[in-house]
Amino acid sequence: MSDQFEAVLTRSRCLSASTMDFRFRRVGGGAVPFEPGQFFRFTFEDQRGSFERSYSLCNFTDAAGSDMDLVISTVEGGRASELLFKSELGLKTQVNGPYGRLIIPKALPKRLFLVATSVGIAPFLPMLSVLKNRSQNVILFFGVRDRSEFLYQQELLALNWPELTLVVCYSRTVNDLESYEREGYVTAHIQSFAPNPDTDHFLICGNPNMIDDCYGQLKADGFGARQVVREKYLFATQEKPIQKPVLTDAQKALIAAKLKKHSP
Ligand SMILES: Cc1cc2nc3c(=O)[nH]c(=O)nc-3n(C[C@H](O)[C@H](O)[C@H](O)COP(=O)(O)OP(=O)(O)OC[C@H]3O[C@@H](n4cnc5c(N)ncnc54)[C@H](O)[C@@H]3O)c2cc1C
């Protein structure tokens, strides 16, 4: 069930040259209902009028129930980027959601692979405490350009959880690699874990090309769409409209009749 409500910007922080995180708080203070991994649609207003953009919640460390944390990378000439990266606290937005199938599977697999590039890490952050509490075996791949773009580095490195393997992949040359660091795209390193379609499950998020490459490799290993759930961070112009349930006249008449029957 999706909900609609107003939220206000209460915090913004610069994380890297091209990335900021933003905290919106639900007006009225009610809890924001979502499953870790889901996204919301935000309606903003600028001089040209109102427009919508989708963002995953990255509530991770200190977010309260009515908070919605977003991590956003700036896009040159982007309408939301222009607005948000110059915004002041108090900015208002209408929020709609939650949406999305990129969630922790009900039946946990032997190994859960979380694969992200850049801000595609967002939906995985709220999953981590849940997975830690279940002592789930997790392999978290995080692809970024270089160390300056290793978002939430301190928090991710501080995760104290024996069943977690963190692999950070840099697409640019980086010196003196630590044991969790690799050079190259994430797709170049997944095979070293010998993915097994009988026991493993993948959640992949971020750059659409990376997702297609990963899925192509996994299909060749025998994986199908159910074991590889993907969330592409498409531009608004590429997104399919979200289907809101529409009632037929017959359904409306049935509901009206039932309400009439049960009204005092
Ligand atoms: C489910 C989902 C979740 C998302 N979550 C996040 C998130 O957590 N963090 C995040 O940073 N982003 C996320 N995104 C992407 C986000 O919704 C916006 O698309 C992004 O922030 C860019 O918006 P913008 O208004 O700044 O840019 P836009 O104004 O949409 O476009 C920016 C630039 O790209 C160009 N452009 C527009 N469409 C295309 C196209 N089809 N091909 C090539 N160029 C194009 C435009 O000309 C413009 O110059 C998510 C997307 C989806 C679908």
The enclosing domain of 95 has a CATH number of: 2.40.30.10
Please report whether residue 200 resides in a domain.
yes
Q: Which domain holds residue 207?
A: 111-233
Residue 157: is its pLDDT beyond 90?
Answer: yes
pLDDT of residue 178: 96
pLDDT tens-digit readout, 212-235:
999 999 999 999 999 999 999 998
Q: Give the residue, by CA position, lying nearest to ligand 1 atom 19.
A: 235
Q: Give the binding-site residues of ligand 1, using a 6 Å CB cut-off.
A: 39, 53-56, 70-73, 75, 77-81, 119, 122, 231, 233-239
Residue 45 in any domain: the answer is yes
- Geometric angle at alpha carbon 160, from 155 and 162, rounded to 5°: 135
Nearest CA to ligand 1 atom 26: 78
What pLDDT is recorded for position 259?
59
Identify the pLDDT of residue 240: 76
Q: Residue 123 maps to which CATH number?
A: 3.40.50.80
Same domain, 227 and 177: yes
For a pocket test of ligand 1, which of 53, 69, 127 has the largest count of ligand atoms closer than 8 A to its C-beta? 53
Domain co-membership, 226 together with 121: yes
Residues 25 and 129 in one domain: no
Domain assignment present for 241: no
Q: Which of 99, 127, 158 delimits the end of a domain? A: 99
Shared domain check, 177 and 130: yes
DSSP 146: S
Do 155 and 89 lie in one domain? The reply is no
Rounded distance from Cα 63 to ligand 1 centre (Å): 25
Q: Give the residue from 70, 99, 128 where a domain finishes.
A: 99
Write out pLDDT tens, residues 93-137. 999 999 999 999 999 999 999 999 999 999 999 999 999 999 999
- At 258 the pLDDT is 63
Asked whether residue 196 is domain-assigned, the answer is yes
pLDDT of residue 160: 82
Pair (59, 115) in one structural domain: no
Confidence of residue 237 (pLDDT cuts 50, 70, 90): confident
What is the CA(16)–ligand 1 centre distance, in A?
A: 18
* pLDDT greater than 80 at residue 196: yes
* pLDDT the model gives residue 29: 87
59/143 Cα distance (integer angstroms): 20
Q: Is residue 249 part of a domain?
A: no
Residues 128 and 68 grouped into a single domain: no
Q: Is 229 left (phi over 0), alpha (psi -120 to 50) or beta?
A: beta
Residue 187, pLDDT score = 96
Q: What is the pTM of this model?
A: 0.90
Distance of alpha carbon 10 from alpha carbon 246, whole angstroms: 35
Instruction: Indicate if 142 and 42 belong to the same structural domain.
Output: no
Kindly state whether residues 55 and 150 are assigned to the same domain. no
- Which protein residue's CA is at the shortest distance from atom 9 of ligand 1? 72
**Each residue's pLDDT tens digit, 41-97:** 999 999 999 999 999 999 998 899 999 999 999 999 999 999 999 999 999 999 999
CA–CA distance, 38 with 162 (Å, rounded to integer): 26
The mean per-residue pLDDT over the stretch 17-30 comes to: 95
Compute, in angstroms, the gap from residue 250 CA to the centroid of ligand 1: 39
Count of the separate structural domains present in the chain = 2
Establish if 21 belongs to a structural domain. yes
**Which pLDDT belongs to residue 180?**
96
The three state secondary structure string of the chain is CCEEEEEEEEEEEEEECCEEEEEEEECCCCCCCCCCCCEEEEEEEECCEEEEEEEECCCCCCCCCCEEEEEEECCCCCHHHHHHHCCCCCCEEEEEEEECCCCCCCCCCCEEEEEEEHHHHHHHHHHHHHHHHCCCCEEEEEEECCHHHCCCHHHHHCCCCCCEEEEEEECCCCCCCCCCEEECCHHHCHHHHCCCCCCEEEEEEECHHHHHHHHHHHHHCCCCHHHEEEEECCCHHHCCCCCCCCCCHHHHHHHHHHHHHHCC
Asked, for residue 260, whether it belongs to a domain, the answer is no
What's the pLDDT at 255?
Answer: 62
User: Whose CA is closest to atom 49 on ligand 1?
Assistant: 77
Q: 223 C-alpha vs ligand 1 centroid, how far in Å?
A: 29
3-16 and 92-99 as β-strands: parallel, antiparallel, unpaired? antiparallel
Task: Give the residue whose CA is nearest to atom 40 of ligand 1.
Answer: 235
pLDDT: is 261 or 174 the higher one?
174
Tell me how far apart the alpha carbons of residues 58 and 231 are, in angstroms, rounded to a whole number. 14
For position 263, what pLDDT does the model report? 58
Pocket of ligand 1, candidates 45, 83, 233: which has the most ligand atoms within 8 Å of its Cβ, to mutate? 233
Model confidence pLDDT, tens digit, residues 158-184 = 998 999 999 999 999 999 999 999 999
Residues 133 and 226 in one domain: yes
Quick one: pLDDT at residue 243? 61
Both 143 and 67 in a single domain? no
For atom 7 of ligand 1, which residue has the closest CA?
Answer: 55
Residue 264 is assigned to a structural domain of this protein: no
- Residue 45 confidence (pLDDT): 96
Q: Both 115 and 67 in a single domain?
A: no
